[in-house]
Amino acid sequence: MRTYDLLGIGVGPFGLGLAALAEPLDDVDAVFLDQRDGFSWHAGMLIEGTTLQVPFLADLVTMADPTSPYSFLAWLKATGRLYQFYIRESFYPLRAEYDQYCRWVAEQLPTLRWGRRVTGVVRVPDPAAASTGGGGGYLFEVTAETSQGIEKYCAKHLVLGTGTQPRLPEALTALGGAGPVVHTSEYLPSRADLAASGSVTVVGSGQSAAEVYRDLLDGCGAGPGEHGLTWVTRSPRFFPMEYTKLTLEMTSPEYTDHYVSLPIEQRDVLGREQRNLYKGISGDLIDDIYDTLYRKSALGGEVPTTLLSDTEVVASRFDADGAGGAGEYVLTLRHAQLGTTAEHRTRAVVAATGYAGAVPAFLAPGLVNLDERGRYEVTRDYAVDADRRIHVAGGEEHTHGVTAPDLGFGAWRNSVILADVTGREPYPIERRIAFQQFGLPGSSGAEPASGLEPESGVEPTSLVEPVETNAGETRPQDNEMEAAR
């Protein structure tokens, strides 16, 4: 059986970026498996006109290799759209064209294997080590189901990029009835049914909720074919994503070093406190929502819409006799500050309640290190095993903070992983990029940002004491859509 140097499980943007960066390396024989039939990035949320929240430089490869033939600019050139993008004068690609760009890259990479659902990963003895009399050598054997039967692969290194799955709050999980109840991941296929229901409630916060609300707002009204619209969010306000430059330095190797060095309890608290760094709403979109409400309500017009902040859905049921016998949902809402509850009736629900990751069930017991809460125990260089041969590409938000879901940091992480795989730096790893310091000067630091020694004359990056389907990542907002900053 062929032995690969690197096998990736899951081909979302992070896994696809790793495949693109590995492709030109002569010393990396790689293969990538995904259970889907081809690349697709949040198809249910490719609403016309929506953009990424990160600049085009946050593509699959540019931050590691600006000369790569798999860059976003290379795609624009190949499709004849480079000058149009230049004249447009916006750094932020349309979300739909980012999906098209990723599909273009995927079509060029011979290392991708679609339609492979991984069902098992175990260690097996390395025949090469046995033949030379060496002991303790092992490989990873990966079993995958296909439409043609079972396939097995062997590899020296694994990268887990299995991503996240849509998450529904407990109050909505059992809800079912006459009207649609959908997660934002299925929004576009359900949009017509939602609009036809007569009343829609969006539950959740962040960019996804805002985009769905804005999209439905155009059809909001009291006339024939129109609908009522409500937005319910637990957030105390409809807060914008923080986007000032010194704050953006928190998406840096130095801040990641700092975050990794903190105790697990402190990291978990910070993870909740830093939501506005990458789960907020675009300021332009907030303004557009307000301007649309103003326009629709001008000259005394009434817009049947309600925005409720600091409000949580704590229970739900279906009333078959509601809405004149057509049936409707009854959501029990609780206001956090007031401590009061009220019932809200609606014919349809869109849950913009984010995504959750988990350790894949196909991993043999003991194969990866887990923390006390059952999550990946991830080292600074993204390894999850003692021998640094299994890495994660996404799924380490609880250990690495805001850089984990950030599209713009994916190429940096992939550079670190490839350095571990090859024992060299095929792509130079920037260890210092921030003007500020995140700890006290003179404090001892954590390990360097990769398993390699720092380049000559480069100090380790930490300045403080040391004290987590096969589908591919993303998420989307909450971890936001591109989980961007």
- Digit-coded pLDDT (tens) for 304-328: 999 999 999 999 999 988 888 888 9
Residue with more model confidence, 255 or 272 = 255
| Residue 460 binned pLDDT confidence (cut-offs 50, 70, 90) | very low
Phi, psi at residue 119, to the nearest 5°? -120, -10
Sign of CA pseudo-dihedral 406, 411, 412, 415: positive
Residues 383-402: tens digit of each pLDDT: 999 999 999 999 899 999 99
**How many alpha carbons fall within 13 Å on the CB side of residue 349?**
29
User: How distant is the alpha carbon of residue 71 from its chain centre?
Assistant: 20
pLDDT tens, residue by residue, 122-172:
999 998 876 655 556 999 999 999 999 999 999 999 999 998 889 998 999
Mean pLDDT score, 426-451: 77
pLDDT digits (tens, 9 = 90+) for 225-236: 899 999 999 999
Q: pLDDT at position 440, please?
A: 86
Q: What is the pLDDT of residues 426-435, one digit of tens each?
A: 999 999 999 9
Residue 353 confidence (pLDDT) above 70: yes
What percentage of residues in the chain have a pLDDT greater than 70?
89
pLDDT of 26 higher than 70: yes
Task: Give me the percent of the chain exceeding a pLDDT of 90.
Answer: 78
Q: Kindly report the average pLDDT of the chain as a whole number.
A: 89
Give me the mean pLDDT over the 412-440 stretch: 96
Residue 401's nearest CA partner among 283, 254, 280, 282 is 254
The confidence score (pLDDT) of residue 179 equals: 78
pLDDT computed for residue 278 by the predictor? 74
Q: Distance of CA 276 to CAs 156, 205, 272, 366, 374, Å?
A: 39, 11, 9, 36, 26
Closest to 449 in 3D by CA, of 433, 462, 464, 463 = 462
Tell me the mean pLDDT in the region 214-222. 94
- Which range is least confidently modeled, 36-45, 127-136, 311-320, 340-349? 127-136
pLDDT, residue 173, reads 85
Of 49, 39, 54, 171, which is closest to residue 477 (Cα–Cα)?
54
**Mean of pLDDT values over 46-56:** 94
The answer for 478, left when phi > 0, alpha when psi is -120 to 50, beta otherwise, is: left
